[in-house]
């Protein structure tokens, strides 16, 4: 019996040595070259298929380049259709091309009045503590920054997840009226604007426009997927029919680009696991 246990342990010790062996000799050249391009962490240099929406966001913040009041904008639509990607692209270009300070805050992470204002100050360059400052003190610092600088574009992503929507909007718009230079607000939401809870006073002060993002259609998804295929896969390993099938399937169900990219990634992984030199329709799960 003792001998059996020893043999069993020796077997598994051998398996452990090779279970996650990533040495060059043990690794076959698969279809995937870099999975990073198929994840939500990757931000494309320029969003694909959203030229009209990018133009409208840019027009909303353009007055900031001349220190004029911008058009506040609520950007809304379902998840996974490019709202965040396009917003980040525009504010990055605003800073790079026109030297207008831009701030991006995710309201899932900073969903209270004090945490959001503190994060805003930190991104503006103030070493604000995470706790201990009163709301009035935080607002005073934001106003101080605006008096000394040319203005700022603030993108509030997942705005519908913010606990104190009314108070935050009122705070920022009051500062906007009192400070020397303007704040431009880009509020990104999965919810329709009618479901965003602002009291009449804040709605009146906000005076914003809306921009609706519609779900991606099949041709748009094909263009996005092909762009990622060129970056993430080895040449010639993903036939056009695979891209078309994924695009059509996702467009019919949700138009969610994230789901399309996940299907493509999983298809590539399956092909690699099975030692194939091309992704096939059967690899789509």
One digit per residue, the tens of pLDDT, for the chain of length 285 reads: 445 555 555 555 555 556 555 544 444 679 999 999 999 889 888 899 999 999 999 999 999 999 999 999 999 999 999 999 999 999 999 999 999 999 999 999 999 999 999 999 999 998 766 667 889 999 999 999 999 998 999 999 999 888 888 888 889 988 988 999 999 999 999 988 877 766 666 666 667 889 999 999 999 999 999 999 999 999 999 999 999 999 999 999 999 999 999 999 999 999 999 999 999 999 998
Q: Between the CA atoms of 231, 39, 264 and 47, what dihedral angle is there, to the nearest 10 degrees?
A: -60
Q: State which residues form the domain around 133.
A: 51-212
pLDDT at 25: 40
Q: Which one of 163, 193, 212 terminates a domain?
A: 212
Q: Of 161, 185, 212, at which residue does a domain stop?
A: 212
Query: Are 119 and 208 members of one domain?
Result: yes
Q: How far apart are CA 272 and CA 285, in angstroms?
A: 14
> What number of residues does the chain have?
285
What do you get for the CA distance between the two ends of the chain, in Å?
45
Collapsed DSSP state (helix, strand, coil) of residue 157: strand
Measured on CA atoms in the order 83, 109, 144, 208, is the torsion positive or negative? positive
d(CA 15, CA 7) in angstroms, rounded, equals: 13
Same domain as 251, residue 202: no
8 occurs within a structural domain: no
The structure tokens listed for 101 are 């300070």
pLDDT at residue 144, as a whole number = 93
Output the domain CATH number for residue 165.
3.40.50.300
Residue 258 and residue 127 share a domain = no
Residues 59, 159 within the same domain: yes
Q: Is 126 exposed, middle or buried (0-12, 13-18, 19+ CB in 10 A)?
A: middle
Let me know whether 88 and 225 are in one domain. no
**Is the domain of 119 the same as that of 252?**
no
Domain stops at, among 170, 196, 212: 212
Residue 173 lies in a domain: yes
Does one domain contain both 73 and 205? yes
CA distance 275 to 23: 17
The pLDDT of residue 8 is: 55
Q: Do 147 and 196 have their domain in common?
A: yes
Q: Are residues 76 and 173 in the same domain?
A: yes
Look at the chain and report how many structural domains it folds into. 2
Count of other CB atoms within 10 angstroms of residue 264: 27
* Element counts in the chain: helices (H) and strands (E): 10, 5
Instruction: Look at strands 209-212 and 183-189 and give their pairing.
Output: unpaired
3-class secondary structure, 187: strand
């Amino acid at each position: 019996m003792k001998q059996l246990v020893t043999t069993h342990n020796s077997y598994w010790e051998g398996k452990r040595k090779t279970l996650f062996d990533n040495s060059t000799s043990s690794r076959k050249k698969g279809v995937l070259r870099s999975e990073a391009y198929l994840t939500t962490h990757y931000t494309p240099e320029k969003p694909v298929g959203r030229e009209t929406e990018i133009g409208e966001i840019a027009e909303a913040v353009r007055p900031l380049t001349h220190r004029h009041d911008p058009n506040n904008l609520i950007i809304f639509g379902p998840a996974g259709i490019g709202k965040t990607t396009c917003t980040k692209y525009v504010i990055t270009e605003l800073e790079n091309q026109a030297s207008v300070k831009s701030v991006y805050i995710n309201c899932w992470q900073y969903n209270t009045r004090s945490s959001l204002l503190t994060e805003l100050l930190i991104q503006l360059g103030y070493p604000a503590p995470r706790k201990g400052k009163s709301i009035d003190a935080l607002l005073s610092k934001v106003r101080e920054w605006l008096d000394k600088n040319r203005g700022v574009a603030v993108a509030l992503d997942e705005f519908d997840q913010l606990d104190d929507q009314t108070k935050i909007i009122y705070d920022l718009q009051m500062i906007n009226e009192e400070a020397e230079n303007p704040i431009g607000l880009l509020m990104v939401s999965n919810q329709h604007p009618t479901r965003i809870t602002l009291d009449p006073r804040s709605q009146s002060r906000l005076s914003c426009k809306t921009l609706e993002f519609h779900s991606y259609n099949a041709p748009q998804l094909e263009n996005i997927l092909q762009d990622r295929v060129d970056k993430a896969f080895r040449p010639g390993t993903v036939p056009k029919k695979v891209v078309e099938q994924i695009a059509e399937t996702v467009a019919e169900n949700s138009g969610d680009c994230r789901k399309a990219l996940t299907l493509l990634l999983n298809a590539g992984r399956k092909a690699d696991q099975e030692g194939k030199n091309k992704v096939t329709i059967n690899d789509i799960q």
